[in-house]
Amino acid sequence: NAGVMQNPRHLVRRRGQEARLRCSPMKGHSHVYWYRQLPEEGLKFMVYLQKENIIDESGMPKERFSAEFPKEGPSILRIQQVVRGDSAAYFCASSLGTGGWGTEAFFGQGTRLTVV
| Contact positions vs other proteins (CB under 8 A) | 3-4, 31, 33, 35, 40-45, 48, 56, 91, 93, 98-99, 101-102, 105-110
The residues that bridge with 12 in the sheet, in sequence order, are 114
CA distance 77 to 2: 21
CA distance 116 to 105: 33
Q: Which is nearer to other proteins, 48 or 69 (CB)?
A: 48
For the bound state, the minimum distance from the C-beta of residue 62 to other proteins, rounded and expressed in Å, comes to 18
For the bound state, the minimum distance from the C-beta of residue 55 to other proteins, rounded and expressed in Å, comes to 8
